Amino acid sequence: MARGAFFNVPFHGHTNATFPVVRELVERGEDITYYLTDSFRPQVERAGARFHRYESTVEEGLKSGTVGFLPARMPAESRAVIPQLLEAVRAQRPDYVVYDPLCLWGQILANHLRIPAVLFRPTMVVTARGGASLDFMKSRIAMFPGLFEQAGKDIAALQQEYGLPPTDLWGMLGHEEPLNLVCVPRSFQSGGEAFDERYVFVGPSIRERGDTGDFPLAHLEGGPVLYISLGTVFNNWPEFYRMCFEAFGGTPWRVVLSTGHAVNVAELGAVPGNFLVRPSVPQLEVLERTSVFVTHGGANSLMESFAHAVPVVVIPQMAEQPLNAVRVAELELGLALQRETVTVEQLRRAVARVSSEPAFREKARSMQQEVRASGGYRRAAEAILAYREKRAGASAS
């Protein structure tokens, strides 16, 4: 039995894709320890892994949506987390580690302790190679020049403390390992044809969760379903939810609106009769019945939508979501609107167009086939096991 360690940031958009892979590895006989914060303990243990806690400096900000530019927070997070875990990881002596690209402390621990590492990317790869991803990063540097500069200095100092070559924020975000797993199909990746064999595009890591709670799926019967969700973090936008009421209230749409937990639904005003409003919903089961998905454009949500052949209207909120929105429009998988300028009429027209023009659904069906062919969590687990065996063989020879 080989030992594996997973390192991640306490952010659902980064952790959710890993849990099906962890369960698959455990079912194949691996002994997995997952290092995360206490709020993720139930998910880790349901996946069959050992849970090892750490305290985070960014988790509360993530919950409230006030964390700011997250990559720039990673040097301070790493400085806090590494001392909590260094000796525990050294004692565990894992045969390999799997870490998220934002998880700088995972990268440092793996290198410092000389453990073979796998980079697990829940989103498209954003690199300095050129194209849309480079333009996206340049725009972010222009928005946060001071943060990029200071974060680069902090990262270089942290690397030096642990005897590693200096790097900067670009280096952290674009770092490569001998094995890099990417949770989108290669065709969705901007410039996907340029990535070599070190990159395995496994597509979305989706495994049925099997728990719909008390969600009334019967509400979705008898009409076309419109699903609206802005994800789990930057969703405190009451004005947008009221726009949705105005745009789609009293229409034939059966609307499922997921608001997150920061919004008091009672303060939104009268909820139209064709709306079902909840803080959270069983997304996979809802998407099975959905005609159009209005989404923030997070990678997990987009891939789950395309896995069900559902076209989208994207209103990006943060991070890489604007880049995802551009890719959705380029591939004609849906339409993109701007958060700063969206109106009731734009919402109404975009949903009507995505719903009525067959080309959007056809493109979504084609992407569904590519999602299925990518292999998902099973292919990710197989790639990790093959990498582990290759490294073990190299060490023995």
Nearest to 23 by CA among 206, 147, 239: 206
Indicate the number of domains in the chain.
2
Would you state the pLDDT for residue 216?
A: 87
Would you state the pLDDT for residue 220?
A: 87
Residue 209 falls within a domain, yes or no?
no
How far, rounded to the nearest angstrom, does the alpha carbon of residue 182 sit from its chain's CA centroid? 11
Query: Does 180 share its domain with 241?
Result: no
Query: Does 195 share its domain with 90?
Result: yes
Q: Give the tens place of pLDDT for each residue, 304-328.
A: 999 999 999 999 876 678 889 999 9
Would you state the pLDDT for residue 121?
A: 95
Which has the minimum average pLDDT: 65-79, 289-303, 361-375?
Answer: 65-79
Measured from the Cβ of residue 267, the count of other Cβ atoms closer than 10 Å reads 9
| pLDDT at residue 130 tops 70 | no
Query: Does 69 share its domain with 151?
Result: yes
Taking residues 388-396, report their average pLDDT. Answer: 81
Res. 371 pLDDT band, cuts 50 70 90: very high
Query: Does 123 share its domain with 245?
Result: no
Residue 211 falls within a domain, yes or no?
no
Q: Give the tens place of pLDDT for each residue, 241-293.
A: 999 999 999 999 999 999 877 777 778 889 999 999 998 899 999 999 999 99
Query: Does 369 share its domain with 380?
Result: no
Q: Give the tens place of pLDDT for each residue, 172-218.
A: 877 899 999 999 999 999 888 889 999 999 999 887 765 666 788 88
Q: CB of 39 within 8 A of CB of 69?
A: no
Q: Give the tens place of pLDDT for each residue, 40-87.
A: 999 999 999 999 999 998 887 655 555 556 778 888 899 999 999 999
Q: Which residues contact 280 (CB under 8 A, 6 or more apart)?
A: 232, 258, 260, 261
The domain in which residue 78 lies consists of: 3-203+375-396
Domain containing 347 — which CATH number?
3.40.50.2000
Would you state the pLDDT for residue 215?
A: 86
